[in-house]
Structure 1
Amino acid sequence: MKRNVVLYAVLLLSQFAHAVQPNVMPDEIAIKGGAFYVGNIFGNKDYASHTNTTLKPFYIMRTEITYSQYQHVLQWAESHGYAFENGCNGGHFDDCLPAEQDNGKHPVTTLSWWDAIVFANALSASQQLTPYYMTADGRPITSVPQDQALNVIRNTAATGYRLPSLNEWQVAARGGEAALRQGLYGRIYSGSDNPDHIANMPKDNSTTFSTQPVARQQPNALGLYDMTGNVWEWIDDDFHMTGLNNMHYFCGGSYLMRISNLSECDVHTPNFPTSDIGFRLVRSAPL
C-alpha cells in the first residue's frame, strides 16, 4: 500500500513537472465589465454617456504571445495530443527572424487562426482550465482540421483561454475604464494620437521592416503593449459574406502595414498565416 501511495505521488509530481508553468506566459490585465463605446469615432468626446456595447469582465494578456512562450506550450502540447505549426520568431519583411534572436522575445508569427485557437486550448489544458474551442460532439479541438469548414463550438462556460472578441479587443486597445477616467479613450491609436510613441509601424522614410521584441514601445492606459503595430492580432469573431468561406478579423496594424486608427481591422480565411500576424489571449473573469 505504501509503495502504491509513493508511486501515485511520483506520477502527480511528474505531471506537474511537465506542465507549462504559469509564469512563462505574459502577465494578465483585468478588464472591468460594463458599457463602452466601440467604433470609428475618436477625439475628445463623452464616451461614457454614449455607449453601444456591454462587456463582461475578462483578463487579457499584457503582450502578444512571444515565440519563446509559444515554444514552451508547443513542447507540452505535442506530448499531450495537440498539433499546430511551429511559428516564427517575429518577422522581417516576409521572412522569419532567427529563432534565437533577442531570446525569442518577438511576437510569434506565421500562424493561422486555427493554430491560434488550438494553442489556446493546449494552454488551457496545461493549466487545468476548461478548453473553449470544441467540436460539435463535445471534444476540444486539438489540431488544425483537414476540413476548414469545421463547425467550431464555443464553450462560453469555459475557464480557459481564447482569442478576444472584436469588441473586447477594441475596448482593451482604447484603454478601457482607465482611459475613460484619464480622458484618453478617444486616442486614435492605443494610448496616443501619435503612433511613433506607441507603435512599431512603417514610416514614410522606412527602409527596414521588422518586428521588435514585445513591450519595446509605451503601453496604453491599461498597461497593454503593442495593441497598435508590431503584428496584427487574430480576433475570435467570424466574418460572414454571402458566397465566401467564413473569415476572421485581425486588428492593430503591423510592422508592414500602417493603420489610420484603432477601428481599422482586416479579415482573411482562418488558414492564412503570414509573417505580420500574431495573437494575444483572453479568458473570462468571474462576475
Structure 2
Amino acid sequence: MAQLSSLRDKSTVKEDTTPVPGKIFRDRLKDGTEGPEMVWIPAGRFRMGDIRGTGRDNEQPMHAVSVEGFAMGHYPVTFAEYDKFAQATDRKKPNDNGWGRGNQPVIYVSYEDAVAYTGWLCEQTGQAYRLPSEAEWEYAARAGTEMDYWWGNDIGQNRTNCREGGSRWGGKQTSPVGFFEPNAFGLYDMLGNVWEWVADSWYDNYAGAPSDGRVWGGDNYRVRRGGSWYSRPWNVRAAVRIGGSEDEHSDMFGIRVVRAAPRPK
C-alpha cells in the first residue's frame, strides 16, 4: 500500500509546473512554504453518470462530456494545509474529533469554507485555484474506467476507507490521506474517506447538463462526491452524488482543489 510516499519524500515533488499529464507539483506560498500537492490531469472525453444502469435516478441520463486538462489535488486537503489557511486568515480551526490533524483529511468544512480556502490559495500563489466542477471530479475519479469503482464493480478489501470495505478505519473515522493505492491518474482517496465538495449546484438529474466539463450553476444547494468513511459501498461509487446547503458541515465532509492550466501567452 502507498504510505504517503510523495508527502514524505520531497524529492518526488517537481517545482516545474508545466502541465504534463501525471506530473506532480506544488505552488509556492508567499511565506516560502508549499501549497497542496497537485497532479496534472490530461484532457479527455468520458461517459458521465450511471453507465451500468444500476444507479439512482439522479445519476441519469448518462451523457458524454469533454474535459480540458487541469491539475487536481493529489490528496484531499489535509488538516496541516487547512490549519495554515485558518491561522493566516484568523478563522476558527475545524474540530478533528480527536482523530488527529497533520495528514488526516480536514473535516467539518462547509462549501463556504472550501471556497474561502481556494480563494486564499489564489491570493497566495497567483494561480487559479478553485473547487472542481462535478464533471471534472467524476472524470478524475474514473481515471479512464467505466466501472462502479476505478478498480472494478466490487468494493473488494482494503481498497478504500468505507464501511464493509475491509479497512480498519471503515465506519469509525477518517484514514490518513494516501494510505490506499491511487487510481490511474495518480489520485488518492477519490472514493471513500471524506465526501468532497464540488462547485456545481444540485440538479435532480443530468437533463440539460453541460457537455464541456464546466460548472453547472444555479442556486446555493451544492453537490458532494465520493462517499466517506461512514458510507456503505453503494455510496462510494464513482457516479454517486448528493446535495447539501453551502453552510452544511460534518465529520464526513472534506475538500479537494483543482488548478487551471496556464493560458498560452
What TM-score do the two structures reach when normalised by structure 2?
0.71
Correspondence 1:234 to 2:246:
no
- What whole-Å deviation, never above 9, does each CA across 1:137-181 have from its counterpart, x for those lacking one? xxxxxxxxxxxxxxxxxxxxxx42111000000000001xxx3xx
Structure 2 contact 159–180 (Cα < 8 Å) conserved: yes
Structure 2 contact 140–185 (Cα < 8 Å) conserved: yes
Alignment RMSD: 2.8
Closer, same or farther: CA 20–233 of 1 in aligned 2, 3 Å: farther
The residue aligned with 1:72 is: 84
The residue aligned with 1:97 is: 98
State how far apart, in whole Å, the 1-side matches of 2:140 and 2:29 are: 34
Comparing both structures, which one devotes a greater share of its residues to helix? 1
The residue aligned with 1:284 is: 260
State how far apart, in whole Å, the 1-side matches of 2:148 and 2:233 are: 10
Closer, same or farther: CA 85–169 of 1 in aligned 2, 3 Å: farther
Structure 2 contact 201–219 (Cα < 8 Å) conserved: no
State how far apart, in whole Å, the 2-side matches of 1:209 and 1:53 are: 36
State how far apart, in whole Å, the 2-side matches of 1:199 and 1:17 are: 31
Correspondence 1:273 to 2:249:
yes
The residue aligned with 1:63 is: 75
Choose the corresponding residue for 2:146, options 157, 163, 186: 186
Structure 1, unpaired ranges of 5+: 1-15, 44-49, 79-83, 90-95, 130-158, 180-184
Q: What's the CA shift for 1:204?
A: 8.3
Closer, same or farther: CA 20–262 of 1 in aligned 2, 3 Å: farther
Q: How many residues align?
A: 210
State how far apart, in whole Å, the 2-side matches of 1:245 and 1:160 are: 23
State how far apart, in whole Å, the 2-side matches of 1:18 and 1:165 are: 27
The residue aligned with 1:201 is: 162
SS in 2 for 1:283: strand
Equivalent residue runs for 1:152-171 within 5 Å: 159-171=127-139
SS in 2 for 1:114: helix
The residue aligned with 1:154 is: none
Correspondence 1:19 to 2:20:
no
Q: What's the CA shift for 1:239?
A: 1.7
State how far apart, in whole Å, the 1-side matches of 2:147 and 2:186 are: 15
State how far apart, in whole Å, the 2-side matches of 1:34 and 1:228 are: 20
- Higher alpha-carbon Rg: 1
What TM-score do the two structures reach when normalised by structure 1?
0.66
Correspondence 1:117 to 2:118:
no
Structure 2, unpaired ranges of 5+: 1-27, 54-61, 205-217
SS in 2 for 1:233: strand
